Amino acid sequence: MSIQSVDYAVLAPVLVMALGALVVLVVDLFGRRGPALPGWVALGVVVAALAALPQSLDGQTLCWTPAQCAYAVASPAGAFQLIVLAATLVVVLLSVSTVSELRLPAGEYYFLLLGSAAAAVALPATRDLISLLVVLEVVSLPTFALVGLKRGDPRSGEAALKIFLYSVVSMAVALYGVALVYGSTGSVVFEAVFAVAANADARTPVLAAGLVMVIAVMLFKIAAFPFNAWAPDTYQGAPIPVAAYLSVVSKIAGFAGLTLLVRWIWWPEVWSVALAVCAAVTVLGANVAALRQSSAVRLLAWSSVAQAGYVLVPLAALVADGVPRVAVLTAMIAYLAIYAAMNLGAFAVVAVVARQHPDPSLSDFDGLARRQPWLGMALALFLLALAGLPPGLSGLFAKVGVLAVPVGTGAWWLAGVMGVATVIGLAYYLPWAARLFRAPVRAAGDEHATEPGRPRTPVGLAAGTALALLATVVLSVAPALAFGLVGS
């Protein structure tokens, strides 16, 4: 490989997604077959990117020297990319009927979605701070428009404005942090910055402040405490597939950025405790907030915040001395893979119910297993998996995997807090699951009314739900598939 050469095979998944986004716009411009066609074209683009992914693994390109490259797909970057593409595939399937029914501009919708996902695929492989923040902003910018695409709905505009303001402020802080890092080290390349950070004589408070500011924007992306206030309102105002995208793909991008940064920070005894406290407060606060929710989307929003807290637990150990990096990344990425399947599945069923009940409340799910048995049973499995209960064994394995990390490092207090938070989570997951199997409550005078019929589920929603269900079942039977995503 020559210096400054471009290996297009390594960049193939990102290029396929980016060029596919332009193709979708052209198809929408000249197509006359309705809003569904751009959706199916977008689906083909994601499948093509998944097919190109194996060719990019363990490669690097855009290099300054043989040892320093701006883009390198080394473990665990490939695992992050696989989860992002698989999750985007499900989101596209969920979007096909939603775009049509809400009369959203199909070309613009899929262009924005694929553009954001392309950046999310690229982010885990970045190797300098400038590229990291530019790619992170490309992940974020399309989501502002996606959230606000429900024209005529004031909550959609409010949600878009809220996530825009939070994101702009956090990105401004991160850019200032990069300036401080560059001023302290003379470089923005990870290897050069972290070489200075590893030298006790070269560390300065200015460098520490800069790294803290950059990490703060990642905590915003994953909606961790204290940067989680935007999530519930944004999820509720956005189209449901967009909320699902924010809760999974955007969150995974934030965790990929955190993984690139936190393991190089010094003062492990300080940072380990700080991240552990952040994880504990995030999980406890989100689970308590979820107890008060009656809206299905808001409940899933707080649930996704709580799940982010669980993923932070291994990261708290990643900065500690003597903790095997592979074990920590294995637990973290396995949790993200399992979380993506069960969370997207829950949003998929909510999207189905939302066709009859816009902004569905928990009461709208009463008797779902009677009306549409496979959807009701699927949602019950997703909720039990999120709670970490059988038969949702994938969620149980994920929680055991992340809790084993603090237990192995002697942080019993953190494991205890996570256990308490898990018990609190049962108080809202289980009642929702129970609603699926009970008869709907009828108003006075409606004793002779018939139960609602069984509306036809659109192909995209059915396929997205089925894929998430299949992944949840497979990972419950063979969790090693998730825990084996990170190589040695």
Encode pLDDT of 133-166 as tens digits: 889 889 988 888 888 888 777 788 888 888 888 8
Tell me the average pLDDT across 378-401.
89
Please give the radius of gyration of the chain, using alpha carbons only, rounded to the nearest integer. Answer: 22
Neighbours of 362 (CB within 10 A): 15
CA distances from 85 to 44, 337, 451 (A): 12, 11, 39
pLDDT category of residue 450 using cuts at 50, 70 and 90: very low
pLDDT category of residue 488 using cuts at 50, 70 and 90: very low
Supply the pLDDT for residue 86: 94
pLDDT category of residue 118 using cuts at 50, 70 and 90: very high
| pLDDT of 344 over the 90 cut | yes
DSSP classification of residue 450: P
**427 in any annotated domain:** yes
**61 in any annotated domain:** no
pLDDT category of residue 341 using cuts at 50, 70 and 90: very high
The pLDDT tens digits of the residues spanning 208-255 come to 888 888 888 888 888 888 888 888 888 888 899 999 999 999 899 989
**411 in any annotated domain:** yes
| pLDDT of 269 over the 80 cut | no
pTM above the 0.75 mark?
yes
CB-count exposure of residue 402 (10 Å: 0-12, 13-18, 19+): buried
The H or E element that residue 275 is part of is helix 268-290
Between 138 and 202, the higher pLDDT residue: 138
**366 in any annotated domain:** yes
**41 in any annotated domain:** no
pLDDT category of residue 67 using cuts at 50, 70 and 90: low
Query: Which residue has 């400054």 as its token pair?
Result: 4
SS3 call for 197: helix
The H or E element that residue 144 is part of is helix 129-147
Query: Which residue has 């980016």 as its token pair?
Result: 18
pLDDT category of residue 190 using cuts at 50, 70 and 90: confident
Quote the number of domains for the chain.
1
The mean predicted confidence, pLDDT, of the chain is 84
The pLDDT tens digits of the residues spanning 47-60 come to 999 998 888 777 77
Rounded Cα gap, residues 252 and 244, in angstroms: 12
Tell me the average pLDDT across 122-141.
88
Supply the pLDDT for residue 46: 94
Tell me the average pLDDT across 313-326.
71
Tokens for 159, please give them: 């949600």
As a whole-number percent, the residues of the chain with pLDDT over 90 amount to 23
Supply the pLDDT for residue 259: 85
**306 in any annotated domain:** yes
Supply the pLDDT for residue 322: 60
Tokens for 398, please give them: 């994920």
**344 in any annotated domain:** yes
Domain interval for residue 462: 267-441+453-488
| pLDDT of 97 over the 50 cut | yes
| pLDDT of 448 over the 80 cut | no
As a whole-number percent, the residues of the chain with pLDDT over 70 amount to 90
| pLDDT of 441 over the 80 cut | no
| pLDDT of 405 over the 90 cut | no
**138 in any annotated domain:** no
Rounded Cα gap, residues 216 and 21, in angstroms: 30
Supply the pLDDT for residue 112: 93
